[in-house]
Amino acid sequence: MENASKTESTQEDIRDAEIIRETSASSSGNKGLKIFIIVVLLLLLLHAVSFVFWWQQGQQIRNIESQLPAIETLNDRAERLSDQLESQQTSMQAQQKQLDSVQEQLTELAAQQSLTNADIRLRWALAEMEYLLNMANQRALLSQDVRGARTALDLVDKILEQTPDYRLLPLRELIAEEELAMAAVREVDIAGIAVELQSAIDRVEKLRVVSGPQVISTSVQLLDPEMEKTSDWRHAATEIWQQLRSLVVIRHQQDGESAVLVPEQRYFLYQNLKLQLQTARFALLSGQADVFSDSIKTAQQWLERYFVGDERDAVLDLLTELEAEYRVAEIPDISASLRWIQGFKP
């Protein structure tokens, strides 16, 4: 009897140990499965974030590449403007050579004593006035330089005052009319605007580029202890998803157009903005108001889309002021006096 009682007690102890071992194995397996699910979901989420970031980066690169033809057009336009400026300079040099040639001829004539002193002074005055009237027309029509044109006309008028020849009275009347017409034109400080534009060009590389999506990772928090005790899989899955949502936070730009740019792309933005401002400066100096306005507006659009910060705002305000200041009035025709003097025979 005593042996049988001991045998039954031993068997009960064995059954209790097996039940405890099965319960422990089941609990350990459930915990491992939950951790595995967390890892799998986290990897899937990170892959999704990487794919979105890669897609946005590709879209930004394609958008920039699509604008390359426009940049080439701007390059061609800048080259044409540069050629025009060089052509004007060459024309001025040719006129200076012509004036020097006339002076040499007058010197030779004076040496031969074939002309009187009055004749020599008249021919010299005519050559000088023709040169100044050529300059006045170039400054007015090509460079929209009202001040320079008025200065040249004033010099011609002073020469006429010192040339007592009644035959030049029609020329003096034409000069007076052209001076009056130019006085009615609002003066624009071309040189000042050009200096301000150069200042804006020098500040381009200090501008801050718009930042794109930022991925912020937070530390993984432990699961709620209450979750480990539950056997409800639906409730467990809900708790896992709530904790996964706290692992990664994605922040997007409000406008949705800008993405993180690599250094090469930022260099492209800076160079393109510089090119727009340089084109505006060339157009300003060559008197092409439409090109100036288009280039300024394009630069403003790029500043608003791709740059941020106080420095960007300062450059935007400067461009707005310069565009408002450069309102070129219609330049009157002052070529009548030039045609008259070219047809005059002393």
Give the pLDDT confidence of 65-111 residue by residue, as tens digits. Answer: 777 777 777 777 778 888 888 888 888 888 888 888 877 777 776 66
pLDDT in tens, 282-324: 888 877 778 888 999 999 998 898 888 888 899 899 888 888 8
Backbone φ and ψ of 208, nearest 5°: -100, 125
Give the predicted TM-score (pTM) of the model.
Answer: 0.44
Average pLDDT for the chain:
76
Tokens of 111: 């040496």
Tokens of 17: 């140990």
Question: Is the model more confident about 171 or about 43?
Answer: 171
Dihedral over Cα of 231, 234, 235, 237: its sign:
positive
- Strand bridging mode 307-308 / 214-217: unpaired
Query: Distances from the Cα of 158 to the Cαs of 151, 163, 172, 184, in angstroms?
Result: 11, 9, 10, 21
Token match 């708790």: residue?
A: 239
Determine the pLDDT at residue 99.
82
pLDDT in tens, 261-290: 556 677 888 888 889 899 988 888 877 778
**Cβ-contact 142, 312 below 8 angstroms:** no
**Cβ-contact 242, 277 below 8 angstroms:** no
* Alpha carbons 163 and 243: distance in angstroms, whole number: 97
Q: Where are the beta strands (DSSP E) in the chain?
A: 208-209, 214-217, 248-251, 307-308
Determine the pLDDT at residue 111.
62
pLDDT in tens, 228-261: 444 454 555 555 545 544 444 434 444 444 444 5
